[in-house]
Amino acid sequence: MSLRETLQRVFGKPYATVTPEQAVDLVGQGAVLLDVREPHEWQAGHAPKARHIPLGDLPRRSSELPEGKPVLTVCRSGHRSARAAKLLAGSGRPVSNVAGGMTAWARAGLPVVAKGGGPGRIA
């Protein structure tokens, strides 16, 4: 292992970071958008094609995510989803964190829907 690889392993993040706009493109190419917020946050508003597994449930429910597809993690601001990305990357999955979370998603003018499909808001 080279010095660069060693330093990346010790100090680097084991996942990539993408913008909300890049996330939309990646979902269009087959990536899974995983929202790790709490149920009340999800119900208030989420990305239309997102899947929901709260961060606390992720260790026991990660098998619900399809194998072989990149996973994009998102939360309200990007902190919880960074923890989720690290957890998933540790199991060998290709994963990226959505920078700025759903707050940045909504700020970018991307759609947010509530449970049931109506207009949503970021809680």
Residue type, 123: A
75: annotated active-site residue: yes
The active-site residue out of 18, 75, 95, 122 is 75
Find where tokens 């087959």 sit. 30
Number of residues assigned to the chain = 123
Query: Which 3-state string (H, E, C) describes the chain?
Result: CCHHHHHHHHHCCCCEEECHHHHHHHHHCCCEEEECCCHHHHHHCECCCCEECCHHHHHHHHHHCCCCCCEEEECCCCHHHHHHHHHHHHCCCCEEEECCHHHHHHHCCCCCECCCCCECCCC
* Residues designated as active site: 75
